[in-house]
Every structure is written in C-alpha cells, then in structure tokens.
Amino acid sequence: MKLRDYQQESIDALYDYFAQGQQDGHPILVLPTAAGKSVIAGAFIRGVLQQWPGQRVLLLTHVKELIAQNHEKLMTLWPDAPAGIYSAGLKRRDTDNSILFAGIQSVHRRAVEIGHIDLIIIDECHLVPKSGMGMYRRFLDSMTVINPKLRVIGLTATPYRLNSGLLVDGDDRLFTDIAFDVGVTRLVNDGYLSPLVPKKMANEIDLAGIHTRAGEFKSDELATLFNDDDLARRALIEIMYYGIHRKSWLVFCSGVAHAHRMAEILQDQGITTATITGATPADERDKILADFKAGHIRCLTNCDVLTTGFDAPATDMLVFLRPTQSPGLYVQMCGRGMRLADGKKDCLVLDFGGNTERHGPINAIKPTGKKGKGKGGDAPTRVCPKCDTIMAVAATQCPDCGYVFQRKVKHESTASNLALLDLTPGKPKIEWHDVNAMYLVRHKKQGKPDSVRVTYVTKTGERFTTWVCPEHGGYAEKKAIQWQKLHLPWCPEPLCVDEILYLHNDKYFTSIPNAICVKHDSKYPSIINYDFETRRLTGSYGNDE
C-alpha cells in the first residue's frame, strides 16, 4: 500500500520528534477524519518493529469498530504482522503478541496481564482526560509502573477538550507536543476528502431558553425542546426538500426519544430509516450499520453514538438536530460526511442547531480554555441569496451554486473563523507565527542529493517545514545560501548538508527566528519570511517561489 504524501510526512514527523531528543515527550498527530489514521498507525508500527524487533506496541481505542479497523489496516500493510486483539466486544483476549489492538474498557484493569509495553498509540486521544483517574489515565499509570520508559503517541482529529483547551496545554497534561498537523483544506483541495456544503435552515431552532452545564447545553432541556412534533415536522419539510437527490442521510438527534421520533416521521414519508442509540443491541447495531453502508437503508438517526469510529463513505447528507458547545463534537459530526465514495461530489450539511455559526470552519477551530477564555460570539458568516449556502463573510462567490456577490464586504481580521470549511477563493492567507523551537534533520530522496529538512515549531504547537538544498545546484542552491545567511550570519562560506547539521547539533547556531511568515496556499503552507531579534527581513526565503 502506497502512503499518501501527508501520511508519510506524519510518520517522518514522529521520527524527527524522537530524533530531537524528546525522551520524555508524548506527541500527538492531528489528522482530519478520513485522513487514514489507521493506515498511518499501521505503517509506523511496522517500521518500528522492523528496526527494533524486540519492541512491544499497544494500539488503544474505545470502540470495537475502531479496534477491528486498525487491526485490519495493519494486516493489509503487513500480512505477517505478529498482531493480536484484546477486546471483549470482539471476543478475543490475546496477550502474547508483539502488537496488540485493545479496547480501553477491556484492558484498563488488566495492566499486569498485558505486561511490558514499549509504545502505546491512542486513537481518538481527545477522549483521554487531562487529569484525574479515568480509565485511560489509570491504565497508563499502571503501565508506566511496569515500564517507566513507556512512550505514548496520540492520534486525533480534534486535539482539544470542551472547556480545557488544547490537549498539550497545562501542567497536568499527558500529551506534550503536536508533532504533526495536516489541515482539512489541504486534503480537500488535494482530493483526499469530500467538501462540505452547509445550508442555512429556515427553521433553525431557537436555543434562547437552554441552559448550560460544564460548558455544554443541558441534554435534558435539549431533548425536551427538540422532541416536539411541530418542530420535527417543520424540520422534515427542509430535510425532504434538500435531500431529494441525496442517497445516504445521517441525522444527529437530541435524545433517544427524539432519534426514534425522527425515524418514525421519515418512514411515514417513505424514507427507509433506522435508529441507533446506546441501548441498541450489538448484533442489531451491526446489521443496521451494514445495511446503511450497503445502501439498503437511506437514513440513519442516532443519539451520540455515531460521532467517532463510524465509517460510511457514501454519506452525502448530514442533518444536525443536535446543537453542541463542544468544538470537538462538532468537528467529529462533520467528519462523518468527509469520506470519498464513487459518485459522491460533496456532502450537504443541514444545521438546525446553529453549530456552523457558533464554531466557525472546522479547519480553524479556536477552543475555549479552562477559564472560559477564547473567542466569544458566533463566527461571522454570509448566506447565498440564491441557494442558502453558508460561507465565509469574506467570500466573493458561492462555492455551491457559483453566485457572485456584487459588493465587497469589509471585515475584521477574525473573519477567517467562518462557515463549515473556509475555502474562500482568492488570495492565499498570510500569517506570522511566533517560533518556539527549530529542528533540523537530514532528508533523503532517491535519485537526489541529500538536503536538510527544517521544521519550525510555533508557540501554539503548529509545525511548518522548509527544505534547504545546498547540494542541488541552480536556484535551490541559491535559496539555501539565502537561508544560511539568515540562520548562520557569522559563516560567510556556503556550507554542505553535513556541515549545517554538524553546526546545529553542536548548538553553534546564533540565529533562530522569533517568528516566521507563512503563506497558506491551495496545497501546502510555505514559509516566505523570517523575523529575527534585530530586524525584520524582507523577500522570500521559503520553498514556494
């Protein structure tokens, strides 16, 4: 199986991270839903065991579907992998394999039975609490007693928790760094993810009387509000109108009774519909999901059970009858429609709960911190007068119907926090980022001289990369000399790859930029400028021009 470019980049980022001497760090890979986290995990595990055969690796998650999926991907990549499964739901309790795929519910009290593990990879790691003694933290503490040198890697599309900010922030955090973060926009533009098309609902639900608890809407009040026949039937009109040409609908509901009621009224309209809740028996759930994926069921209603670990690529319409204050839940719900499928052009999103305006684009989430700090209010949006598509207030053309807005709208710098996906056509976004660290490693490419891959880590945990190619000749060599003049101003002679790495590893560098200027173009972010302590330099020194 050939890895996609960003998948290989994420694996390289892990090796780079550990190569920089981060002996006590626990990094996170941030990849959108449908980016292939199971493929990345499988390829990384295979590489680790081929280089260090004595290692034992545990891939941990919370639902049996993900356990089975992750195991299957590894066996596809590596049919002879020494892999086993420890999961009550899958009726297997292997313990002696070098590679184990396990459910946290099955192993959280079984550390001694699992034994010595060198590396734990946690899929959907946003479910790990930042502190306290939940199942994950209790299990990890026990495994660390067995092996004090245990390393932990997290995989997630949403590296934050409601009201606690980024997983890598805070003294009580488990995860220490974001080693790699690939944006949704890049994967959509590269054809790896399906675009989302959000529509403004005429019957958007008024939440004025709903209270919050622990930063989220109170579930009992939401259930009472949404489980109303008049409201349900008004929503039904728009669902039927927009869904007429959509083949696979997924509806997120507010409460179990609401999920069943929506299924009833959809069935009354001749739509083949089924419901899944936390109380659905396992065998029945498996059959419903199989029928939905096969196209035998057109619509699936659910209550808080199909937000993670659910893969139905043909889903081409999402219906949000479930408001949330949680940016993570919002992103996970959106992710259910972003997989590719034959004949699928995009995924329509009908948001009756105001989540789109509340959170902004899923590629620019600004999570609220512990003390409620963060951006408040709804994200500014504009609605197409022709087709009701929601988009960035800065958009000049509707991404769905092509309607061109005739008048420019003056907007503030915060206008990027909009709509479901901020794919506004036009000039690329250019931003300055404060630099926290800089890593250099040798980069090899078959048929080419070695180069230096330079990674700048920002103070918010983002990583931006450029390549310095002093031995390639031509324009690449000239750009390498420009880079050297900025970062090694005391060294007048052009250096080769070995010399640059030697000086960096021996800490002879005197100029690490305070900030870098990044251009977010249609494919890859690129570094176009540097800010050093004594001056702001002009010109382009990145890899984009």
> Tokens 């889903």 belong to which residue?
315
Torsion of CA 223, 227, 233, 236, to 10 degrees: 40
Integer CA distances (angstroms), 429 to 4, 182, 304, 423, 518, in order: 25, 16, 35, 11, 8
Same domain as 237, residue 176: no
- What CATH number has the domain bearing residue 64? 3.40.50.300
Q: Which of 395, 416, 437 is the last residue of a domain?
A: 416
Question: For the segment 306-335, what is each residue's pLDDT rounded down to a tens digit?
Answer: 877 678 999 999 999 999 988 888 888 998
Supply the pLDDT for residue 171. 76
Q: From CA 520, how far away is CA 535, in angstroms rounded?
A: 24
Supply the pLDDT for residue 281. 92
Q: Which of 370, 387, 416 is the last residue of a domain?
A: 416
Residue ranges for the chain with pLDDT beneath 70: 21-23, 130-133, 162-164, 309, 363-428, 505-510, 521-523, 533-545
Same domain as 103, residue 159: yes
Supply the pLDDT for residue 493. 79
Same domain as 91, residue 70: yes
Dihedral over Cα of 29, 21, 15, 78: its sign: negative
| Cα 116 to chain centroid, rounded | 30
DSSP structure class, residue 371: T
Same domain as 94, residue 15: yes
Residue 413's SS3 state is: helix
Cβ neighbours for 55, distance < 8 A, ≥ 6 positions apart: 48, 49, 98, 118, 119
Supply the pLDDT for residue 373. 40
Q: Which of 182, 213, 243 is the last residue of a domain?
A: 182
Supply the pLDDT for residue 392. 57
Same domain as 273, residue 133: no
Supply the pLDDT for residue 444. 84
Supply the pLDDT for residue 382. 63
Same domain as 15, residue 120: yes
Same domain as 155, residue 34: yes
Same domain as 406, residue 438: no
Q: Does residue 538 sit within a domain? A: no
Provide φ and ψ at 236, rounded to 5°.
-60, -40
Same domain as 68, residue 41: yes
CB 74, CB 92: distance < 8 Å: no
Q: Look at residues 320, 340, 338, 306 and name the one whose alpha carbon lies nearest to residue 185.
A: 338
Provide φ and ψ at 391, rounded to 5°.
-150, 180
Supply the pLDDT for residue 539. 32
Supply the pLDDT for residue 158. 84
Residue 167's SS3 state is: coil
The range of the structural domain enclosing residue 93 comes to 5-182
Rounded to two decimals, what is the model's pTM? 0.69
CB 48, CB 40: distance < 8 Å: no
Domains: count for the chain: 3
Supply the pLDDT for residue 127. 85
Torsion of CA 491, 494, 499, 504, to 10 degrees: 50
Same domain as 289, residue 167: no
Same domain as 171, residue 201: no
Q: From CA 188, how far away is CA 197, in angstroms rounded?
A: 12
